[in-house]
Amino acid sequence: MASKNYQPDPKNMPKNHGGHPSGPGSHGYRKPKNAKKSLKRLGFYIGKSKGKLTLVFILMAISSVAMLAASYFLKPLINNYILPGDFAGLARALAVLTVIVVVGALASYLQNKLMIGIAQRTTNTIRKDLFAKMQTLPLKYFDTHTHGELMSRYTNDMDNIYMALEQSLVQLLSSAVLFVGTVVLMIVLSPLLFLITAIILAVMMLISKKLGGKSRTHFGQQQKNLGILNGFIEESIEGIKEVKVFNHEQQMKDEFYELNRNYRDASIKASIYAGVIMPIMNNLNNVSYAATAVFGGVLTVMGRFDIGSLAAFLQFSRQAGQPINQITAQLNNVFAALAGAERIFEVMDEDSEIDLGQVRLIELGDQQQERSWAWSDGQTQTPLLGDVRFNSVNFSYNGEVQVLKDISLFAKPGQKIAFVGSTGAGKTTITNLLNRFYEIQEGQITYDGIDIKQIKKDDLRHSLGMVLQDTHLFTDTVMGNIRYGRLDATDEDCIVAAKASGADGFIRRLPQGYQTILRGDGANLSQGQRQLLAIARVYVSDPPVMVLDEATSSIDTRTEHLIERGMDGLMEGRTVFVIAHRLSTIRNAKAILVLEHGQIIERGNHQELLNQQGRYYQLYTGQHELE
Amino acid sequence: MIKRFYPFIKEYKKYLILGPLCVTIEVICELLMPYLMAKIVDIGIPALNNSYILHIGIIMAILAVIAIAGGCANMFFSSYAAMGFGANLRRSIFDKVQDFSFGNIDKFSTASLVTRLTNDVYQIQQTILLSLRLLVRAPLMFICALVLTLSINPRLASIICIAIPILLLAVFLILRRAYSLFATMQRKLDDLNGKVQENLIGIRVVKSFVREDYEKDKFQQANDALMRAGLRAAGLVIILFPIMMLILNGTTIATIWVGGNMVGTGLMGTGELISFVSYILQILMSLMMISFVLLMLARSKASANRIIEVLETCPDIVDLPQTKVPTENTQRGKLEFKNVSFKYNAESENNVINNISFTAQSGGVIAIVGATGSGKSTLVNLIPRLYDVSEGQILLNNIDIREYPLHALRQQIGMVLQKNVLFSGTIRENLLWGNMDAEDREISKAADAAQAEDFIKSFPESYQSELGQSGVNLSGGQKQRLCIARAMLKNPAVLILDDSTSAVDSATEANLRKSFYEDFKDTTVIIIAQRISSIVEADKILVLDDGKLVGFGNHQQLMAENQIYREIYYSQQEVID
């Protein structure tokens, strides 16, 4: 009788292991280090659909038994009805068989249907958790991991998990059931004949194990080469403009050819080893079939076996090898999935940003402006003013190189403080400490007198407006990108902000004005235009403290001049930290701090610093020495 | 589509013939098995002829060994052909992309080019591999098994002939619908990946605006959409399986009924009936294989189209049939714009660059100033033919730049782009991009001129420091200076700096400028700058406004006669007074 295990199950075919190009250093394939642990955690996710899963197993059992029964049915069919010529009995028996077959097919369909649902929902949940976790990771994590590496968690690894859930889980179990069932029924039919089958099965298992291991090794090699190749492709395409400007096409091609060849050779080996398993197994199965036919024939001749049993046994001997193939193939999938799950869980196990802060920001009235810090005791309230102090702050990114040394400074509400210094002096780092992108090692930073570690991180950041050195925009309308600053801002609010930041002009010239959709991080805008939008975005958010990190570096001075009033309006009444190379933009700051090698070497206002004739004076006159 | 991809597999033509040949051998051997088995049951057993049974058994064993050999050989050939094909295809696309102009690249976007080179090629390679393995095997098995059933009993075979069209129709209907469902799923997957990517890039923005929950919501929408699309697509495909099972088993039951009657009336042997049932299995199995390959083909059709799109794009900037090899002439670096106009898109109405003419003498320093979006970068991009002018011409050393071979033209031009890219590898390797044959002395000189030597030497491994993830992290200003050093090492006739010192502090920038003026006397330098102070010394300053040249002269002249220039100047100067 036809069995499910006979077909070239589409699900067993080699599947896409190409996946997303992973960054250099992250290779798609790796043996799971702690399979048991990953399995357990994966089990937790699947366990959420426990009820359905139980149903799946029941259905799986029904369809397996139906399959075995259908094959076994050949014996009574031939012996009891066909050979004696009992056609009425044959008709009855066939009717029963039809019922068995229909039930089996239905059970298998329902089981698949349920399993797809479970697999989809499980991966959906894992993906959701992974993304949520990603949002809580500290910036340090993103500094030390490539985007490609993280992306491949969402693509490759998630894919492998889905595949394993959708097929391997059930297939593994049903193969096991079928294998045991087949063996038992074969022994029932003829223990003697089963001996022959057993020998060949043992050989098959041995070969399957041997080849399987070899194929896994080569597959690992292939994935490693693929990782390198994809990494190179990614880098060379991202930098293609550089390649062209430097006439480097040929060198890139040569390097690519070599990596391409390496991958090809590795993949040929992997594919051969994976491929030959199939014909070897199939034909060994045929050998088993032949041997059974011969010895079964001889036994029948000797009168110790009957034709009906022989027919059923032959059917079983064909099927017996199939579960072994299945189990080999599915185990590969399961291992790939576990390795993927392990990588995903690795990300989930990373430390989140530390946020032990208890002090919350509360709104006093309907007005955004009237806000206050509320302490966790529920009693104390501190008005939100924007007073920021650094007390002897030391900081290092990696624990080795001291990036900031003994930084102390204060900004009273409404004051404008500027940082000046050469590239790499630590200006941006200071602002990154204020919003706790990174945690300081020593010293203290306070906001309105409260240690920022005591403030709930979200609220701390709500009270800070940042225009960052690198502007990033999102796939959304221009309006949506401005509204990113405050989600409940009205269209009018956004337009006011755009006007104040000088972005209104170019926005209106865009094809759909404010409704123009920006794609690919605002790729179609110039750097200067992106900065204008970033400023508008902060304008909308209306924070008491603002950080402008080279916010206008790509805006030409004439435009900058035009938006100056808007910028002044934006800064008015707020504590502002400014980093700018253009010293002209910071001349009116309350205090200017000159940084060098992570230390404040000079401080004072513009005039004081000029009179001091120190580093600031050099920088300032250096800018003008050519005039 | 086959025609389009054939050239990439042509190299493996002999495998394409040998592979199917081996499959044929394997299939025939395999299919003879049930036939021989029938002989044992119908002739050997009734005649009680043990030696006949053994004889047939040995033949079956030999056939199995031959089948293994044939099967393995096919795996071998198909692997070589498919992987070789993949490598060839990948190489062609890579070569093609290397020849693309900036315009071509902008059209595709680099991210999508990467996907095409990686995922799409992989998809097709795997499809070819499967097709090579199954697309001959399955139909062959189908035909042979059908022929054998017909030879055993034509009347009984008619049952199969009814079942097959029904099955084919079901497969066809399901696959046709599945194709569009899979396409939808792929789109949803792209959306989801886009969301993740965007969050990775903009993580600082997300965090500083505390938009984690907002982003999670957006992500979950994409995530749910993907799940729904996945459920629909997979839900349809699984119908295929029970339908096939039912038809297959229905056919078997009908066969046993009709065949059983025939055995009863002596029209057919029991063994023949058993082998007949085996063949039905083979026939249906091969049909499933075929439908599976069709499904794969349907799924990779989208990938194939995306690849063809790349392959069929003609680079818009290519060498003229007759190019002039540049001679070492006296006017190294003389640059002339003659009525140059440019627009990115031939259909758009407005020129980005509008009728600009000027001349830069050899060794001069030309500065370009103008508002954001006035066309400064576009103008300099025209010089190394990153884009081609729409009207007018650009002359380098009195020869139209389009008459040079591209390679030779770009060899003469050093350019530092606004958005710098360095590659993984050591600092030294990156600098060598400028000149592969540079000696250490020259490298050091260029680095020194670009004000980069000090910080390079401050790294423990100096020039051998690895860049990127595993190596030293550079600040924006340091990156810019490395890029300038790289361009300087080229010792170009024309050096273009597109706002390349924006992240460099003023003092360093002043030093940099000094080396432009002093060390590169015979190089024509074109500087785009924000700060007037950076360019007051320039020989000539171009003032751009909305793509038009509105001022040309030195600082003094422009101060005297150009309103816009004065405005820019004063916007930066008022601080001094």
| DSSP code per residue over B111-173 | HHHHHIIIIIHHHHHHHHHHHHHHTTHHHHHHHHHHHHHHHH-HHHHHHHHHHHHHHHHHHHH
Model pLDDT, residue A581: 67
Cβ distance of A484 and B67 shorter than 8 Å: no
Please report the pLDDT score of residue A15 as a whole number.
Answer: 35
d(CA B183, CA B176): 12
- Partners of B242 on chain A (C-beta within 8 Å) are 105-106, 108-109
Chain B contact for A283, CB < 8 A? Answer: yes
Q: Look at residue A256 and tell me if it is in a domain.
A: yes
- Whether residues A96 and A220 share a domain: the answer is no
Asked whether residue A208 falls in the same domain as residue A120, the answer is no
In the structure encoding, which two tokens stand for residue B236, read together?
A: 């349809």
* CB A419 within 8 Å of CB A579: yes
**DSSP-assigned beta bridge partners for residue B542:** B368, B552
Whether domain B335-576 has CATH 1.10.10.1400 = no
Q: What is the pLDDT of residue A562?
A: 67
- Are A112 and A235 in the same domain? no
Q: Which of B33, B215, B507 sits opposite A289 (nearest CB)?
A: B33
Distance from CA of B361 to the nearest CA of A (A): 22
Burial class (CB in 10 A: 0-12, 13-18, 19+), B194: middle
CB pair distance less than 8 Å for B242 and A298: no
| pLDDT band of B328, cuts 50, 70, 90 | low
Classify residue A251 by burial, with Cβ atoms within 10 Å: 0-12, 13-18, 19+.
middle
Report the distance separating Cα B262 and Cα A75, nearest Å. 18
The pLDDT value recorded for residue B397 is 85
H-run or E-run covering A486: none
Query: pLDDT per residue over B57-104, tens digit each?
Result: 888 888 888 988 998 998 899 899 989 998 999 888 888 888 888 778
Residues of B in contact with A117 (CB under 8 A): 231
Ramachandran sector of residue A315 (left: φ over 0; alpha: ψ -120 to 50; beta: rest): alpha
Helix (H) or strand (E) holding A317: helix A307-349
If you count residue pairs, one on A and one on B, with CB atoms under 8 Å apart, how many are there? 499
In A526-574 the beta strands, taken as DSSP E runs, fall at: 545-549
Q: What is the structure's pLDDT at B577?
A: 36
pLDDT at res. B326: 62
Pairing of strands A545-549, A575-579: parallel
Confirm or reject contact between A611 and chain B (CB < 8 A): no
Closest CA to A464 of A491, A433, A440: A433
User: CA torsion, points B527, B531, B533, B539, in degrees to nearest 10?
Assistant: 30
* High-pLDDT (> 70) share of chain B, %: 94
Closest C-alpha among B385, B436, B440, B438 to residue B415: B385
Shortest alpha-carbon distance between residue A102 and chain B (Å): 7
Angle at B114 between CA A269 and CA B191, to 5 degrees: 110
Answer yes or no: are the C-beta atoms of A119 and A48 closer than 8 Å: no
Is A291 in CB contact (< 8 Å) with chain B? yes
User: What pLDDT, on the 0 to 100 scale, is given for residue A145?
Assistant: 77
Domain ranges of chain B: 2-311, 335-576
Shared-domain flag, residues A102 and A221: no
CB contact (8 A) between residue A124 and residue B224: yes
Looking at the complex, report in whole angstroms how far the Cα of residue A180 sits from the nearest Cα belonging to chain B.
Answer: 22
Q: Where does the pLDDT of residue B308 fall: very low under 50, low under 70, confident under 90, or very high at 90 and above?
A: confident
A275 in the same domain as A297 = yes
Distance from CA of B122 to the nearest CA of A (A): 6
pLDDT tens digit sequence for B379-407: 888 888 888 888 888 988 888 888 888 88
Residue of A nearest to B300 (CA): A16
Asked whether the beta carbons of residue B45 and residue A307 sit closer than 8 angstroms, the reply is: yes
Flag whether residue A152 sits within 8 Å of chain B, measured between CB atoms.
no
- Chain B residues within 8 A of A300 when measuring between CB atoms: 45
Is B321 exposed, middle or buried (CB count within 10 Å of its CB: 0-12, 13-18, 19+)? Answer: exposed
Q: Does A138 touch chain B (CB under 8 A)?
A: no
Give the DSSP H or E segment for A165. Answer: none
Specify the 3-state DSSP secondary structure of B404: coil
pLDDT score for A130: 92
The A residues from 333 to 392 touching B (CB cutoff 8 Å) are none
- Residues A63, A204 within the same domain: no
Residues of chain A scoring pLDDT < 70: 1-33, 365-369, 400, 423-424, 520-524, 553-554, 556-558, 562-563, 581-584, 619-627
Question: What is the reported pLDDT for A120?
Answer: 92
- Tell whether A233 and A155 lie within a shared domain: no
Q: How many independent structural domains does chain A possess?
A: 2
Rounded Cα distance between B416 and B384, Å, is: 12
Q: Is the pLDDT of residue B575 over 80?
A: no
Range of the domain at A153: 33-189+324-350
Whether residue B245 and residue A4 make contact (CB cut-off 8 A), yes or no, is yes
Residue B228 has pLDDT above 90, yes or no: yes
The pLDDT tens digits for B69-82 are: 998 998 899 899 98
Q: A322 with A6: CB under 8 angstroms? A: yes
For residue B372, what pLDDT is reported? 67
Partner residue facing A139 (CB), from B113, B204, B223: B204
pLDDT of residue A125: 92
Asked if the Cβ–Cβ distance from B292 to A19 is below 8 Å, we say no
Nearest C-alpha of chain A: how many angstroms from B139?
14
pLDDT at B278 exceeding the cut of 70: yes
Q: Considering the domain B2-311 in this protein, what is its CATH number? A: 1.20.1560.10
> Quick check: A121 and B227 CB within 8 A?
yes
The tokens for A89 are 């009995």
For residues A215 and A134, state if they share a domain.
Answer: no
Average pLDDT, rounded, for chain B: 82
Taking the mean position of all CA atoms in its chain, how far away is CA B104?
Answer: 13
Cβ pair A5, A177 in contact under 8 A: no
**For position A24, what pLDDT does the model report?**
34
Q: For B422-428, what is the mean pLDDT? A: 81
Q: Would you state the structure tokens that stand for residue A101, as one six-digit string? A: 């077959």
Furthest CA-CA distance within chain B? 121
- Tell me, yes or no, whether A430 lies in a domain: no
State which amino acid sits at residue B210.
V
What percent of chain B has a predicted confidence (pLDDT) above 90? Answer: 3
- Note whether A280 contacts B123, CB cutoff 8 Å: no
Residue A445: the pLDDT is: 92
Cα–Cα distance measured from residue B528 to residue B497, given in angstroms and rounded to the nearest whole number? 6
With a cut of 80, say whether residue B569 has pLDDT above it: no
Model confidence at B571, pLDDT cuts 50, 70, 90, reads low
Q: Which residue of A has its CA nearest to B406?
A: A247
Q: Tell me, yes or no, whether A125 lies in a domain.
A: yes
Q: What is the pLDDT of residues B450-503, one digit of tens each?
A: 888 888 888 877 888 877 654 556 777 788 888 888 888 888 888 888 877 776
Question: Which tokens hold the place of B411?
Answer: 């060899």
Identify which has the larger pLDDT, B51 or A34.
B51
**Of A409, A426, A442, nearest in space to A597 by CA:** A426
